[in-house]
A and B are shown apart, each in its own frame.
Chain A
């Protein structure tokens, strides 16, 4: 019984982590069809924001939940204005440009901070015990955060004017422009939002993983797999793909080893995309939430 409870909790926390690392990419890819290969580096920059801020004596929660998304969001808007906006509709070019950005960020951060970090950010909560087993309290916090992010995005997209304009632009940018909406501004804000969510992910994951210039590489593959498996509906797709792949990963890890768990995740994604080439939601929901 305790084992079942802990397994379920572990699965839920794996799912939550997938949601957190993918949602920023999902927003940018889903709404703008821009494949952002610098996604992992946005996460890394979020991690470094927390690292620098806590070293400067700023409260860790402020650094994680406010500064990380803010700083990376601003970087995202700058990237969009300087680079990405000149390349809309040219998928391969944006892919190359964002790969270049990714190398640029890794290089810059390595130059400034070196390729190792001296201090590890301590995980805030202790362990939660269930019978003979325990799970880290921080994992449960991440589950809570993933739900908050998804709910927050849903409210933003569904009930605000910005959400309406964004959904309209996403479905038909020319028509939105013909109704007076400036698509360029919507894209800029959307890219900033996606970057901010990636920054938040980096902040949230900083206590769990070593903050290193190359840490983005650990996330980007999983994030892409989740977003592509999810399909065109940003929130529902990302959430359902995370749920499926996270559960497969946890169960396979429990039955075998963590490495085979990752393999199972990949296999599940390949089978899924073979059966549903447009992802879980592509066939049924179209381009929406």
Chain B
């Protein structure tokens, strides 16, 4: 579904991605694990088009999208849930969700109803401003907003950061159900080992802008293995 070939990107003058190659099959969840500053977020931003690739290619559904603008990538079915969630602070929860289906070929009313059915916790917050929600609630809203546009591929950037444990459990549950019901493909960038292990089919380790090795998700629950493969994380 998505093929990344020798992808390079800079942040200003500083090279961040140093030749990333990966292939993601439809319906899979691929985890990318790494410390801060290793290029996790930049990888997702470059796939989304928010950071310009300086070399390499991104192919999506057989089409080269390396030079496509961000909004066209979204319209092709790539959804993005950024780190920090990027909720529109002065829009209500409802309007945040409406932004998610604003240009997608979906019926707004049905999409909003479905969002509330999937994320019942958002229902009582419906008319609140996005900026007044807690971190966990914002994370649910960001995911719900992304899903409103009916994406085929979701780029999920550190969804557990600053989120209370109860909502992390809820997120795992929701993501599992969605993978079943919608045949979603997901790239998940995380530092939370339990979360990434619970959802991923395969896990790559990113270090200094390169994917250095692949680990079995099952091994992530074994501290000894984790230490051996990727150094101490938590």
Contacts and interface: CB of A to CB of B under 8 A. Distances in A.
| Interface size bracket, B side | 20 to 34
A177 B82 CA distance: 12
Contacts of B82: 175, 178
Contact of A183 (B71, B75, B98, B149): B71
B70 A164 contact: no
B37 interface: no
Given A179-B103, A179-B149, A180-B75, A172 B86 contact: yes
User: Counting chain B CB atoms within 10 Å of each CB, which of A161, A164, A178, A183 scores highest?
Assistant: A178
A167 B102 contact: no
Interface in A149-197: 161, 164-165, 167-168, 171-172, 174-183
B104 interface: yes
A168 B98 CA distance: 10
Contacts of B48: 178
Interface in A229-266: none
Interface residues of A, number: 21
Contacts of A176: 99
Given A165-B99, A168-B99, A174-B70, A180 B104 contact: yes
User: Counting chain A CB atoms within 10 Å of each CB, which of B71, B82, B89, B104 scores highest?
Assistant: B71
B177 interface: no
A181 B102 contact: yes
User: Counting chain A CB atoms within 10 Å of each CB, which of B48, B88, B104 scores highest?
Assistant: B88
Interface in B128-146: 131, 145-146
B89 A181 contact: no
B69 A179 contact: no
A179 B90 contact: no
15 contacts: A164-B98, A168-B91, A168-B95, A174-B70, A175-B88, A177-B50, A177-B70, A178-B71, A178-B82, A179-B102, A180-B74, A180-B102, A181-B103, A182-B69, A285-B90
Given A167-B91, A168-B99, A174-B50, 16 more contacts: A165-B102, A168-B88, A168-B91, A168-B102, A172-B86, A174-B86, A177-B71, A178-B80, A178-B82, A179-B103, A180-B74, A180-B75, A180-B104, A181-B99, A286-B89, A288-B90
Interface of A: 161, 164-165, 167-168, 171-172, 174-183, 285-288
